[in-house]
Amino acid sequence: MKKSFLLILLLAWTGISLAQNNPYEIDDECYNYYSQADLLVGKPEFKDVNEQLLVTARQKGDTKAETLYYVEVLKDLIAHPVSPENDKAVDEAFETLKEVASKYGYAQYFYFSYQITQNYYHNSNRNYRALQLLKEMQELALKENSAYGLWGSVRYLASLYIAQNDYVSAKPYLLKAIKVYKETDDPTVKRQSPTRVYCDLADTYPIGSASVRVYLG
Q: What is the pTM of this model?
A: 0.82
pLDDT digits (tens, 9 = 90+) for 136-183: 999 999 999 999 999 999 999 999 999 888 999 999 999 999 999 999
Residue 61, helix vs strand vs coil = coil
Query: Looking at residues 126-137, what average pLDDT do you find?
Result: 95
Query: Per-residue confidence at 209, pLDDT binned at 50, 70, 90?
Result: very low
Query: Per-residue confidence at 204, pLDDT binned at 50, 70, 90?
Result: confident
Query: Looking at residues 2-30, what average pLDDT do you find?
Result: 61
The residues, any chain, with a CB within 8 Å of residue 204's CB and separated by 6 or more, are: 167, 168, 170, 171, 174
The type of residue at 35 is S
When the pLDDT of each residue in the chain is averaged and rounded to a whole number, the result is 87
Higher pLDDT among residues 167 and 4, named by residue = 167
Query: Looking at residues 187-212, what average pLDDT do you find?
Result: 78
* Residue 70 to residue 169: CA distance in whole angstroms: 34
Q: Which of 10-19, 41-50, 196-205 reaches the highest mean pLDDT? A: 41-50
Instruction: Output phi, psi for 206, to 5 deg.
Output: -60, 145
